[in-house]
Structure 1
Amino acid sequence: MNKYLLEIGVEELPARFINSSLEQMKNYTSKILNKKRIPFDEMKFYSTPRRLVLLIEGLPDRQEDLEQEVKGPSKKIAFDENGSPTKALEGFMRGQGIKLEDIFVREYNNVEYIFANKIEKGRAVEEILKDNMADMIKSISFPKSMKWGGKNLRFARPIRWLLSIFNDKVLEFDLEGIIASNITRGHRFLGSSNIEVNNVEEYFLLLKDNYVIVDRDKRKEKIKYSCEKLAREKGGNLLYDEDLLDEITNIVEYPTPMIGRIKEEYLKLPKEAIITPMKEHQRYFPVINDKGMLLPYFITIRNGNEEYLDIVIKGNEKVLDARLEDARFFYNEDIKEPLENYVDNLKDIVFQEKLGTLYDKTMRVQKLAGKIGSYLEVGEETKKNIERAGYLSKADLVTNMVEEFTELQGIMGREYAAESGENEIISLAIYEQYLPRFSNDELPTTTAGAILSIADKLDTISGIFAIGIQPTGSQDPYGLRRQALGIINIILDKKLNLSLEELIDFSLYIYVEENGLAFDYYKVKDEILKFFDGRIKNMFIDMGIRYDIVEAVLGTASDDIFDLKLRADKLNLWLDKKGLDEVLSAFNRVKTLADKSENNEVKRELLVKEEELNLYDTFSSVEEKVIDLLNRKEYDSALDCMISLKEPIDQFLDNVMVMVEDEKLKNNRLGLIKKISDTMLLICDLSKIVNK
C-alpha cells in the first residue's frame, strides 16, 4: 500500500490558528477521498509553527472502478420494425462508449427501456491527489489572512515551500507559482534550509536531525515532562495550565526547558499579580510548593537547543524583572488610596454609548443585586455585604494595575478591598462577580458573590437587548450567551429559586428609572425570555436530559430555572418507572379537547352522565392533594395522583359526547377537561413527550 506526504511550509503561524487549520485539512481531504472512491488506512496530521503536515497511509494504486446502471431510450424507439438499432439507440451507445451486446431491456414505470452497465475505470491515485491538493490548501480559512508577492492566494502567513511525496516520488503541483517538490527546511536557526527528502519514511528522521520535532503530541509531552522535572529539582511543583502548554507547544519546533529565578522582593506582591505577567505576557510556568505558595522560580521554553542556555535564562530573568517591577510600582501606587476612592473615576469610563458609564453600571448592578437579595430573603448582614460589594464592584477597573494587566480585573478588586479593610465576604464577592468566566470555570462560593454575579450579567444582557444589539448567528460581541449560561449555572449550583421573568423586570425597570432608557418594554422582555429559554434547553440537553422532557417542563408556567431542572429530573425518572403508553394516551386525549375550551369553569349540576360525574368527583378528590404536592415540589408524586385519573378519563371520553349541540352541556364538559389539563400543566406538558 502507498503513502502520501504533504507539507505546507510557512512563516510562523499564530498558535491559535494551527488546530483549526489541521481540522479543515482533515475535513477537506476526507471528503475528496470519499468522493473519489479512494480508501485509505489512516490519515495523520502534524504541525509546528512553520509547517502543516498531512500523511495518508494505506492508499491503493488506483481509485475503485465505478459501475453505473444508465438508462437509455425506450425499447419502442430504440429498434426499428426490423429489430435494427435506431439513431436514438446508436447515439446512446456512442455517448456511453458501449456496444450492442452491453445493453439490456428492463421495465421502468410499466414501460420497457434500454439499460446498460457502464464501468468507469479508476484513475491513478497519485493523479487525483496531484489535481486536488492545491484546492485543499486554498480552502483553509483563517480569522485573519494575508496576501503576498502579488498572488491572489490568501493564507494566514506567506507560504514559502511545498513538499509533496507519493512513496518515493515527487508529486508536483503548482500553487500560484509555488511548485511542490521534495525539499523541506529544518529549524530556522539550527537546521538546514535545503533538505532533500527521498521518501516518506525518511522525512521525520531528517527533520529530527535538523532540530524539528514534527509530532505535536511528542513536543507537548516532552515540554510537560521536562518542566515538571525541573520544578521537582527545586523542591516544588509546576503550576500546570493546559491552555498555556498548548500555546507553547504550537510556537516551538525544538523545545528546550529552562528555569530562572524571581527576585525575592517581588514575591511580596499578591500571587496573581506575579502569575499573570508570567503566564499571559511571557508564557512562563510558575513553580509552587505543596501549599500552593509561589516559589522564586519560573520555567520557560526555548525554541532551540541547550547552547548558551545560561545567557538565555539571564535574558528572560531581566525581562520578567522589568514586568514585575512595573507591577510592584502599580500596586504600591494603587494602595495609597482606599478602593472606594476609585469609584468616582468610573464616571469617566464609558460602558456602552447608549447605556452610560461604568459608574452608571455600578449603580444599576448595586440596585439590582439588592433587589435579588430581598427577593431571596437573605439576612441583613448579607444585604449589607451585597450593597457594599456592589458599590465597589468595578472600582479596580480604573487602578493602574488593572489598566496595565486587564486579566486581573476582579482579582485586584479583591486584593485592594482587603487592603482597604473591607471584610472577607465583600472582598471575595468583588472577585466572584466575574465568575464563571468560561466553560467549566469555578462558580461563586458566597451568596453575596453569586447574587452580584447574576446582577452584573443580567444588567449587561438586559441593556444590550434594550438597545437592539442581540446575538445573531456566531456574532455575540458582548458575550451574552456566555453570561446567560453563567447565570443559569450559578442558579443551579446555589439551588436558587428565582423567577426569571421577575429578574428581567427588575433589571429593565432600573434601566428606565436610573437611565431613562426608552424601548419597547414588553417586546424586549419577551426577547430576553426567549433568549434564556434557548440557553436553558441547550444546557439541559448537554446534561443528558431528553429533548422532549426539556420541552415538557418548559411548557409549564414555571420560569424558575432550578425548579425546571428539578421537574426535568423527576419526570425523567417517573417516565422510566411508569412506561409511556398509559401516560400519553390519557393526557393527549385530554389536551386535544382542552385546547378547544376558553375557560375551565365547571358546574356540577350540569353534569348529567354517570361517567362525567365520576370523573368530576375523582378529580375533585385528587386536585387539592396535587396542589399540595406541587407546593412541596414532589412532582413525581403529583404525577402519580394525576395518572390515577386515567380510567375515569377513558370512560368519560369513550361514553360521553363532548361536542353536543347544547352549548351549556358542551362548555361544561370542555371546562371539566380543561380544568384537568390545566392542573396537569402545572406539573409538565406531557403532550411534548415522544413515545419512542
Structure 2
Amino acid sequence: MQRDILLVEIGTEELPPKALKGLSEAFTDALAGLLSEHDFSFGAVTGFASARRLAVQVHELTATQADKVVEKRGPAINVAFDEQGQPTKAAEGWARGNGISVAEAERLVTDKGEWLLYKAAVKGQPLADVLPELVRQALKKLPIPKPMRWGAGSAQFIRPVHTVTMLYGNELIAGDVLGVASSNHLLGHRFHCPQGTSLSYAGDYEQALEQAWVIADFAKRRQRIVEAIATLAAELGGEVIQDDDLIDEVTALVEWPVALSAQFDDKFLAVPKEPLIVTMKDDQRYFPLHDKEGHLLPAFIFITNIESKDPQQIILGNEKVVRPRLADAQFFFETDKKVSLHSRVDGLANILFQKELGSVKDKSERIATVAEQIAKLLGADAAVAARAGLLCKADLGTQMVLEFPETQGVMGMHYARHDNEAEGVPEAIFEHYLPRFAGDMLPASTAGAAVALADKLDTLVGIFGIGQIPKGDRDPFALRRSAIGLLRILVEKKLTLDLVTLIDIAADSFAGLLSNTDVKSDVLEFLMGRFRAFYQDQGIAVDVIQAVLARRPTLPLDFDQRVHAVSAFRSLPAADALAAANKRVSNILAKVEGDIPDQVDEQLLTEAAEQQLAQAMKAAARAATVALGNNDYSLALNELAALQQPVDNFFEEVMVNAEDANIRANRQALLNQLRELFLQIADISVLN
C-alpha cells in the first residue's frame, strides 16, 4: 500500500501569541485522532506553528483507508419471524435497507438472545476524498473562545485565513477549507519574503519555509531564542531573568528571531527592580538582565523579527520606547514615597473587599488581629505580625500598584522600608501573599507566615461565612488556592497549628458579620477535602490519603506525618494481609449487636491462637506507644506489622462467633483492641 508524507498548513494573519502553542498542539492531536478514527495508518506526527501559520506533518500515511467489515444488527429472531417461521415486515424492511434478502442474513447469537446480522464489506476511501472534511473537523475542535469573520464570506476562525495547503507527497489535494481553496502556495516572512513560496513535496516543508525566512518548528525557534539571549547576556556580564512563559510568547510573535541588546539610563536603578522588570517584560516583551547577586543591570535583550541591515536603528528605537515607561515607574515611586504606608490604611475604606464583609481596611484590621494571635501561638514577635497585617494591603492605594498590579506586596515591602518600619515588618508584608501559585516559595519569616495564614483564613472564613461556597469550576475568590497555600505553609514549615484553632480565631474576628451558622464546620470540611488534592499532586496514593482522612487529624503537620508513614507501611510485605484483616475485623464488629466489652478477660482466652495474639498485641502496643509518644508513626506501624502472623493464625484457628456468649464477646473485645491499635494512626482497612 502506498505511503507518503502529508502536509496540512493553514496560513493566517498573526495568531494570538499566548494561545499559539495550545492551538498547535490541539490541531496536531485533533487531525491525528481523526485520521486514526477513519482507519488511516501512519507513523510520526509533527506539529508546526509560527505567527502566521498552523501546520501538521503526518509521516508514512497510507493513501487509502483500510477496508473493513461493518456489522449491522437487525431485529431479534422472535420479532423477525412469525409463528409459521415466515419473515415479518420488520425483518424484510431491515433486509431491504441493507440490499439483501432475509434469507441472506446471518445470525448473531449471544447469551442475551439471537438477532439477524448483516456483515457489509466497506471499501476504504482515498485520502484525497476525505481529507478536506477531516481538516475542517479538526479546526472546529480548536480552543477558540471568540472566532472572527472576515471579508464577505461566512467562514469563522481565530484570525483571517489566507492560504490552505493540503499536500500528500507531491500530490496537491483539492478542497475548500474556511472558504479558501487548497494550493501549494505558502506565506513567507512578512518582510523578508512577502511574495511567499511554493511547495512541491510535503517532506520539504521546513526547508522551503526556511528559504522564505521562516523557522516553522516552534521548538527549534524557541531554542534559537534561548541560545541567542544567553550568548548576549554573557557578553553583557549578566544573566537573563528566567521566564519560560515570556520565551514562549516571544517565540510565537516572530518567525525569524534575531536577538539584540540595548541599554537604559542607570538612574532608573534607584527604583525597585520589580516594577522595572514588569514594564520591560509585560509591556515590551524584553528580557531584563541581572548580575550574579541578583541586582538588575541597566540593559535588556529583545527579539526582533527581521534581519536588519542597520540593527543600531532598531536598538535606538527600543531604547527610546522603554525610556518613558521606566520614567513613569520612577515618577510613581518618588510620588508614593511622599506618603507613608500607614497613612494609606484609612484610604482602604474606599476599596470594597466584599459588600457583606466590608472594605479592604476592615479586612486589614481583621488580618492584624488574627496574625497577632497566630504569632503568639508560634512564639514569634506578635507586634511585628500585627503591624504587618495592618499594613499588608496598604500599597493597593499607591500609584505604582495601580499601574503595575503585579507588584502588590513587594512595593508594600519597599515602602515600609522607606518608612523605617520595625525590623521584620517589610518582609512580612511581602510574604503575606505567598505562596501565589503552585510551586511558589513560602514565607521565610515566622511573622510572614502568621500574616499569610491570617489573610488566607480571613478570605476562607469570610466567604464561607456568607454562604458563597465554591461550586464546580466557580471559585471567584480563589478559595481552593488559598486553602492549598494555607496547608503548604503549615506542613512545609512544620508549624504545629491545629485547623480548628485557626478557624476559631478567624471566625471570632468577624464579630457577628457572618450569616452562616455552620461556617466553622464548613471551612474545616473544605480544608480537610483539600488534603486529597494536596497529596495526590505529590504522588501519594488515594487510598493512603483516605486511610488518614478516616481518622480526621486536624493538625496538618500531624496529617502529613501519618500520610507518609502509611505510604511507607503500604510497601511492607505484611501490609496487604493486615489491611485485609482490619477490613475483616471492621465487618465483624459492624454486625455486633449490643456493646463490646472494654477489656479482654484473659481467663476466657481458651484457644492457643487467641492467647498468642493477645500476648503479641500487648508487646506491639507497648512498642507502638513509645513510638507514638515521639510522633513516629512509621516506627509505630512497623511495630504493629509484627502482628501479621498472630492475626493470620487467629483467623485460621479461632471461631469468633462462638456459641458461648461470654467467649464470643471476649473475642470481639480482642478484635476491637486490635483495630484500635491501628486506628491510632489510620484506618488501614481502606487500603487496596
Fold agreement, TM-score > 0.5 = yes
Within a 5 Å distance, the mapping from 1:122-137 to structure 2 comes to 122-137=124-139
Per-residue deviation, residues 350-391 of structure 1 (Å, max 9, x unmatched): 112222111111112122222322333x14xx2222122112
Q: Is the 8 A contact 2:239 2:291 kept in 1?
A: yes
1:646 Cα deviation after fit: 5.7
Task: Check whether the contact 1:134–1:175 (CA below 8 A) recurs between aligned residues.
Answer: yes
* 2:557 maps to which of 562, 575, 583: 562
Could you tell me which of 236, 239, 242 is aligned with 2:241? 239
Partner residue in 1 for 2:266: 264
1:92-131 aligned within 5 A: 118-131=120-133
Q: Please state how far the C-alpha of 1:155 moved relative to its aligned partner.
A: 2.8
Aligned residue number for residue 516 of structure 1? 513
8 Å CA contact retained: 2:4, 2:169: yes
Shift in Å at residue 458 of structure 1?
2.3
Aligned to 1:138: 140
**Cα 1:2/1:669, change in 2 over 3 Å:** same
SS of match in other structure, 2:134: helix
Shift of 1:326: 0.9
Query: Secondary structure of 1:250's partner?
Result: helix
User: Aligned pair 1:541/2:536, yes or no?
Assistant: yes
Secondary structure at the residue paired with 2:288? strand
Matched residue type, 2:479: L
Deviations 1:86-111 (A, max 9, x none): 99999887765679999878866699
TM (norm. structure 2) is 0.88
Displacement, 1:625?
5.5
Q: Does 1:595 align with 2:582?
A: no
* Secondary structure in 1 matching 2:213: coil
SS of 1:374's partner is helix
SS of residue paired to 1:576: coil
Residues of 1 paired with 2:90 and 2:647: CA distance?
Answer: 69
User: When the two structures are aligned, how many residues end up with a matched partner?
Assistant: 680
Q: CA deviation at 1:68?
A: 4.5
Q: Could you tell me which residue of structure 2 aligns to residue 636 of structure 1?
A: 634
| TM-score (ref. length: structure 1) | 0.88
Report the Cα offset of residue 245 of structure 1.
0.8
Partners of 2:598 and 2:73 lie apart in 1 by 68
Match of 2:606 among 584, 594, 610: 610
Whole-angstrom distance in 2 between the partners of 1:502 and 1:289: 45
Q: Using a 3 Å threshold, how does the CA distance of structure 1 residues 453 and 143 change in structure 2: closer, same or farther?
A: farther
Amino acid at match of 1:35: E
The corresponding residue for 1:428 is 427
CA distance in 2 between partners of 1:153 and 1:520 (Å): 55
CA 85–331 in structure 1, closer or farther in 2 if over 3 Å, else same: closer
Aligned to 1:362: 364
Q: Which moved more, 1:147-156 or 1:285-294?
A: 147-156
500-509 vs 104-113, greater mean Cα deviation: 104-113
CA distance in 2, matches of 1:156, 1:75: 53
Measured against aligned partners, the alpha-carbon deviations of 1:43-76 in whole angstroms (never above 9, x if no partner) come to 1111112211121121112111103466679999
Q: Are 1:255 and 2:265 an aligned pair?
A: no
Deviation at 1:471, TM superposition (A): 3.1
Alignment-derived partner of residue 342 in structure 1: 344
User: 1:285: how far off?
Assistant: 0.9
Task: Find the residue that maps to 1:267 and give its secondary structure.
Answer: helix
Give the conservation status (yes or no) of the 8 Å contact 1:346–1:398.
Answer: yes
**Aligned partners of 1:491 and 1:562 also within 8 Å:** yes
> Would the alpha carbon gap of residues 260 and 75 (structure 1) be closer, same or farther in structure 2, given more than 3 Å must change?
closer
1:564-615 CA-to-partner distances (Å, cap 9, x unmatched) read 2211222222332342343124322322233356766526679745367887
Question: Deviation at 1:475?
Answer: 2.9
CA distance in 2, matches of 1:176, 1:323: 41
- In structure 2, the residue matched to 1:495 is 494
Aligned pair partner of 1:66 in 62, 65, 68? 68
Residue among 658, 680, 687 paired with 2:685: 687
**Structure 2 counterpart of 1:629, which letter?**
A
CA separation in 2, counterparts of 1:505 and 1:486?
19
Match of residue 328 from structure 1: 330
Report how far residue 230 of structure 1 moved.
1.9
Q: Determine helix, strand or coil for the equivalent of 2:475.
A: coil
Q: Is the 8 A contact 1:138 1:154 kept in 2?
A: no
Say if 1:541 and 1:214 are closer, same or farther in 2 by CA, change over 3 A: same
Q: Tell me by how many angstroms 1:204 deviates.
A: 3.3
Of 268-277 and 178-187, the range deviating more from structure 2: 178-187
Q: Which moved more, 1:147-156 or 1:302-311?
A: 147-156
Letter in 1 for 2:66: E
Q: Judging changes above 3 Å, is the alpha-carbon distance between structure 1 residues 88 and 586 closer, same or farther for their aligned structure 2 residues?
A: closer
Match of 2:304 in 1: 302
Aligned to 2:407: 408
- CA change 1:32–1:389 in 2 (3 A) is same
Instruction: Find the aligned partners of 2:275 and 2:310 in 1 and give their Cα distance.
Output: 30
Per the TM alignment, residue 123 of structure 1 is displaced from its structure 2 partner at its CA by 0.8
Residues 102, 117 of structure 1: 8 Å contact kept = no
1:23-62 equivalences under 5 Å are: 23-62=25-64
Deviation at 1:214, TM superposition (A): 1.4
Query: Structure 2 CA distance, aligned partners of 1:77 and 1:678?
Result: 62
Q: Which amino acid aligns with 2:606?
A: E
Return 5+ residue gaps in structure 1 as ranges.
none
**Alpha-carbon distance in structure 2 between the residues aligned to 1:3 and 1:639:** 59
